[in-house]
Amino acid sequence: MKRLGIIVNVQRPDAEETVSTILQWAKAHGWPIVACHRIDMVRTPDFASVPKELFAGSIDLLLALGGDGTILTSARTVAEFAVPVLGIHLGSLGFLTVVYPVEAVAALERIRTGDFFIEKRMMLEVSAPGGSGERWSGLNDVVLDKGGIARIVTLRVHLNGEFLSEIAGDGLIVATPTGSTAYALSVGGPIMMPTMHGFVMAPISPHTLAQRPMVFAASDRLQVTVQSMAGPVMLTVDGQWARHLDEGATIEIGKAPHEALLVNFTDRSFLRVLREKLHWGIGPGAR
C-alpha cells in the first residue's frame, strides 16, 4: 500500500475533476491520500490534511498536479525525505510533468504494478550571505539579476576559492541539468541531459563577448559576490523564492546534499520531450 501525497495548483483547468478521479482510484485500491497546500479549495472532504512541515514524512509518493512550477515546489518540499514525485500536467508547457489528466489512472496502475522507474535529478543549494548558515535548494536554477533597474550589475565569481571571472551585465544564471532547458537555455546555455551531475553558469546579456556559458562538475562550488550595483540585486531560486542582495554580499552555490526523485516511464524519454515541447531537431516542414 502507498500513502499518496497530493499538491495541486487549483487555478488550473481540470484540477477538481482530476483530483476526484484520483481519489476514486485511491479508494478502490486502499491507498490513503494526504493533502498539502491549498487542497481545501478542491471541494472534497476525503483527504487527511497535515501541515507542510509534516507532509513529506507522511507519504510514500507525491502527486503534483499543475505545471512546471508545481513540480518545482513539490520537489523542494519532499527531496530531503527521498519521496518520488509524479507530475500530472495541468499547465501550459509542462516540461517536467509526465502524464496528462486522462492518463493519471493508467499511470497509477503502472506504478502499482512496478512498471516505472525513478530519475534522480541533481539539485542546487545556495547559502545565505553573511554566514548566517541559512541555505535554500532548487531543482531548476539560481538567478542573480538587476531586477527592474536598467543598469549594469557587476558580479565577481570564484570557482572553489579561485578567481574565475568578473561578469558585468544583466546578471547570472546557475542552472542544474534539469534547469538547462529553462531560463539558461534562453540566454544561450547548453542543453544538458537531465540525469547528469554538473551545472552550468550562464551570464545574462554580458557587457563583453568574452563571457560565455560554462559547465562545471557537480563537486565544484561557486562563490558569487555583488561587486557593484545601481540598485538592489535580486537572488531568485527556481523563480519562486527571492530576496535582495546588498553590494558586497557573497553567496555560495553548489550541489545540494539531496536529489529530486521524479517518476518516469520507459515510453517518455527526454529526447521525446525535447522534440514535442521544444521542437528540437525537427525542421519546419516536419512540424
Domains of the chain: 4-116+265-286 (3.40.50.10330), 123-257 (2.60.200.30)
User: Confidence class of residue 206 from pLDDT cuts 50, 70 and 90?
Assistant: very high
Q: Does the structure show a pLDDT above 60 at 9?
A: yes
Q: Does the structure show a pLDDT above 60 at 169?
A: yes
For residue 39, what pLDDT is reported?
Answer: 53
Which residue reads 495548483 in cell numbers? 9
Average pLDDT over residues 276-287: 72
Alpha helices in 30-150 (DSSP H): 52-55, 68-78, 104-112
Task: Give 224-251 pLDDT, tens digit per residue.
Answer: 999 976 677 999 999 998 999 989 999 9
User: Confidence class of residue 146 from pLDDT cuts 50, 70 and 90?
Assistant: confident
User: Confidence class of residue 204 from pLDDT cuts 50, 70 and 90?
Assistant: very high
Cα separation values, 173 from 102, 179, 213, Å: 36, 10, 9
For residue 262, what pLDDT is reported?
Answer: 97
User: What is the pTM assigned to this prediction?
Assistant: 0.91
Q: Measure CA 77 to chain center.
A: 11
Q: Judge whether 17 and 94 are in contact, CB under 8 Å.
A: no
Q: Tell me which of 147-161, 191-205, 248-262 is least confident.
A: 147-161
Distance CA 191, CA 131 (A): 33
Q: Which of 181, 25, 33 is nearest to 109 (CA)?
A: 25
Distance CA 231, CA 146 (A): 7
Q: Judge whether 63 and 101 are in contact, CB under 8 Å.
A: no
Question: 42-59 b/e with 16+ CB inside 10 Å = b?
Answer: beeeebeebeeeebbeeb
Q: Which of 121, 147, 165 is nearest to 262 (CA)?
A: 121
Q: Does the structure show a pLDDT above 60 at 49?
A: yes
Output the CA angle 262-266-270, nearest 5 degrees. Answer: 65
Q: Does the structure show a pLDDT above 90 at 219?
A: yes
For residue 112, what pLDDT is reported?
Answer: 96
Average pLDDT over residues 94-107: 91
Q: Tell me which of 70-74, 245-249, 280-284 is least confident.
A: 280-284
| Backbone angles phi and psi of 106, in degrees to 5 | -60, -40
Active site amino acids: 68
User: Confidence class of residue 101 from pLDDT cuts 50, 70 and 90?
Assistant: very high
User: Confidence class of residue 287 from pLDDT cuts 50, 70 and 90?
Assistant: low
Q: Tell me which of 169-178, 194-203, 272-281 is least confident.
A: 272-281
User: Confidence class of residue 25 from pLDDT cuts 50, 70 and 90?
Assistant: very high
Which residue reads 547570472 in cell numbers? 172
235: cell is: 537572488
Name the DSSP class of 99.
B
Q: Which helix (H) or strand (E) holds 125?
A: strand 117-127
Distance CA 182, CA 179 (A): 5
User: Confidence class of residue 134 from pLDDT cuts 50, 70 and 90?
Assistant: confident
For residue 53, what pLDDT is reported?
Answer: 80
